Every structure is written in structure tokens, then in C-alpha cells.
Amino acid sequence: MAVSHIGNKLLISFFVIVTSTACKHFVAESVPLSNTVQAALYDSTSVFFADFASYGELKSLPIGIFDADTTSMALLEAFESLDCYNNVTGEEEIDGIPDFAGEYFQYYTSTDDNKCFESTIFLMKNNYWNSVDKNRSKIVIAGGNISSKNGLDDMIAVTENSGTGVKVITAVEAGVRAVFDELSSDIGSDFTVAVLCKNSTIISGAYSESFKKVATERNLTPRISLVFQPISIKIVDSVQIFQKDIETLVKKLMADDSKSQLKFLIMDGMDEELINAANEIFDRYRNTFINGTYLYRNILSDNILCINPSVCAAKECYQILRNDNNLALRITDQRVDYFYGI
């Protein structure tokens, strides 16, 4: 992995090299369970113990969401508003009815990105850390700066070994999987993926780890240049400021030695207004003609796809719950129970 600094911006480029065959999950079966996972599964005296044997049927339980980003509700809002599927047939088409109509949610926020395992256990327990009773969760959705270094392996290990049928989706990985889903069969060519995110997400290495992980799972060897652009504001409420970030990104791409074309732009909470704003900047640079040359067309592809990881996670969740016959299918309104950590 090559790392270079341009001004006060961080540029990371890497080539994903696959050294193992495709697998269902990043954690191999031969890897022993960590002490914390063993405590959650077997040690009734541990604060992590969740008594999974009494979990029961999943269908009526809420969807569990935790997010370390306390400045944004983008992840929860993506679930509440998702309308990408026909609620009767399950086909991918808008029908004017929220896909998670009638579902209950448990939304847990914590300021600590490193507590994803603890957050998973919290959502799977039937009480608020051995005090107030609450519902368990039928699936766990992780937002924030989640990477394997911060407990993702343990999250997957505890759900896989719990016997409950509960599955884990991380928004970062869902966004990365969406990138690979959009790739053509010609995956051998170089291309660039730009990620607009908080500095803490860059430092966590969540996206770098996830691209390598998903490539390994799919037994692919793409040559990807990852470029990170720190976002200027915590909540994107100014199109003009957002467009300045896009302009900075384009200039960064021009300074990158790889000069591979930008094909994907990933940013959480990206709506249609921001997508149009980004495309406006890309089109302007793409059509810049100086001294007989279109200066930016070698770094900007004709069709740059915008990926919203929260929406990707919500779509994966719907597909899993529908395939497992675990959608609640209530005729009542959605409901959210909020929990706050430290």
C-alpha cells in the first residue's frame, strides 16, 4: 500500500491482491474464538453473556442498528425511508410503500468507534446491560468506522456461533459490495474509487480493509486506487461546501501518479441533490478544454456512480430478511426505540 500526502490531504492508493479462495466470511472456521466471544457464548457470569439459547423466533423482533456517528441519522433514515422493492413480490421496483413498513427498530449510538462488538451484544441481549428489559434484535446493522481491527471479526464470530440465525451487515462493507456488483466482467483494468468521509473513517482503515476483504470473498484481483477526501462538514447541509470538496477531490486525482479513471464516489447520506451537485462539477472539469486537450477526461470516467453505504446496507437487510422469511409484515407504523452509549 502506497501512502502519500498532498498538502494537508491524505491520498491512499493500493492494489488488492487476492491470496486465498472465496469464502463466505472473512473469519476462517479454523480461527479460535476470542475470549470475549467465548464469554458471550458460554460464561453466564460475564457482562457479555446473552443467553442465546432463549432467543426465540426472529420475525417479530426489531432490526438492530448501531452507529458511532452521533452527528448524523443517515443510517436510520435510510432504513425508515427505503422504497426500492415491491412489498408484495419482493422485486426491485418502487411501489410507494416503505420497504420496512411495520418494522420496529432499536437504534443504539455510541461515541466510541471501537465498541462494535459490545454494541452487537447490546442489541442481541434482552436487557439494558442487566437492568431494564428490552427486545433482542433479529439482525444487526453496523454504521460508523467499522473495520476488522475494531472487533468486526468478533461480531461475525459471535452471531455465527450463537445459533440464533442473527446476521451482521456493516454499512461500509455494503457500500464496497455495491462497487463490486457494478463492475463489468473486465475487472482487470485500473480504476479509482473516491471516498468522502470523516477523518476518523480514513484513520480507521475501514474502507481499505473492506475492499481487500470483499475482493477475497469474491476471489477477484482488481487494481483499485482508493482516494480519500475528508468532508468539510459533519452534516452535509451546504451544496456549495460539498462542491468545493468535489473540486478538491478532482485536483487531488490530477496530482495522483496512478492517473486511473474515477469510476465510483462513495459518501454516506448522499441524496439526489448532492449527486446532481457532484455531477455538475465533474461535467465542468470533464469539458475543460485547454491547449487542444481535455485535461481531465483521463481521470474522470464518463459515468461516475455514486454510492450511499447506508442505502446499500438497508437494501441488503431487506433482501436477507425477505429471503429468511423474517420481515415482520405488520400493518402498524414503524417504531424506533433509542438507546445511547458513551
Residue-wise pLDDT for 136-193, tens only, equals: 999 999 986 665 555 788 899 999 999 999 999 999 999 999 999 998 655 667 899 9
Question: What pLDDT is attached to residue 205?
Answer: 86
- pLDDT score for 152: 81
Q: Provide the pairing of β-strand 139-142 with 168-170.
A: parallel
> What integer is the mean pLDDT of 245-262?
88
User: How much is the average pLDDT of 86-105?
Assistant: 95
In one letter, which amino acid is 240? Q
Highest mean pLDDT among 82-96, 117-131, 215-229, 232-246: 82-96
Q: How far, in Å, CA of 257 to CA of 13, rounded?
A: 10
- Report the range of poorest mean pLDDT among 8-22, 39-53, 144-158: 8-22
Return the CATH fold of 59-170+311-340.
Answer: Rossmann fold (3.40.50)
pLDDT, tens only, 291-315: 999 999 999 999 999 999 999 999 9
Q: What pLDDT, on a 0 to 100 scale, did the predictor assign at position 1?
A: 37
Output the pLDDT for position 127.
87
pLDDT exceeds 70 at position 253: yes
Is a pLDDT exceeding 60 seen at residue 34?
yes
Percentages (nearest 5) of helix, strand, coil residues in the chain: 35, 20, 45
Q: What is the largest CA-CA distance in the chain?
A: 74
The DSSP line for 92-108 is SS--SS-TTTT-EEEEE
Q: How far apart are alpha carbons 82 and 96 in whole angstroms? A: 10
3 state SS of 330:
coil
83: exposed, middle or buried (Cβ count in 10 Å: 0-12, 13-18, 19+): middle
Other CB atoms closer than 10 Å to residue 301's CB: what's the count? 17
The model's confidence at residue 55, banded by pLDDT at 50, 70 and 90, is: very high
Q: What is the mean pLDDT of residues 246-250?
A: 95
Q: What is the pLDDT of residue 27?
A: 42
Mean pLDDT estimate for the chain: 85
Q: Could you count the other beta carbons within 10 Å of the beta carbon of residue 3?
A: 9
What pLDDT, on a 0 to 100 scale, did the predictor assign at position 82?
97
Confidence at residue 203, expressed as pLDDT on a 0 to 100 scale: 83
Tally of residues, the chain: 342
pLDDT of residue 214 exceeding 60? yes
| Topology classification of domain 2-21+173-309 | Rossmann fold (3.40.50)
**What is the predicted pLDDT for the residue at 44?**
93
Cα(103)–Cα(314) distance, rounded to whole angstroms?
13
Rg (CA), the chain: 21
The mean per-residue pLDDT over the stretch 209-214 comes to: 91
> Which pLDDT does position 146 carry in this prediction?
64
Output the DSSP codes for 74-94: HHHHHHHH---S-TTT--SS-
The three cell numbers of residue 238 are 451546504
What is the predicted pLDDT for the residue at 256? 78
What SS3 class is residue 278?
helix
Task: Give the pLDDT of residue 258.
Answer: 65
Cβ 1 vs Cβ 211: under 8 Å: no
Between 18-32, 138-152, 213-227, the lowest mean confidence (pLDDT) is in: 18-32
Q: What is the pLDDT, as a whole number, of residue 143?
A: 86
Distance from C-alpha of 121 to C-alpha of 106, rounded to nearest angstrom: 13
Per-residue pLDDT at 11? 43
Mean of the pLDDT values across residues 120-149? 84
Closest by CA to 328, choosing from 63, 123, 88, is: 63
**Lowest-pLDDT choice from 1-15, 195-209, 252-266, 296-310:** 1-15
State in Å, rounded, how far the first CA of the chain is from the last one.
34
Smallest CA-to-CA distance from 55 within 170, 153, 159, 169 is with: 159
d(CA 269, CA 304): 17
Q: Lowest mean pLDDT: which of 96-105, 233-242, 260-269?
A: 233-242
The reply to whether domains 2-21+173-309 and 59-170+311-340 share a CATH topology is yes
Residues 6+ apart with CB under 8 A from 228: 9, 10, 11, 12, 194, 195, 197, 202, 207
Spatial separation of the C-alpha atoms in residues 254 and 296, rounded to whole Å: 8
Provide the residue ranges of all domains of the chain, joining segments of one domain with +. Answer: 2-21+173-309, 59-170+311-340
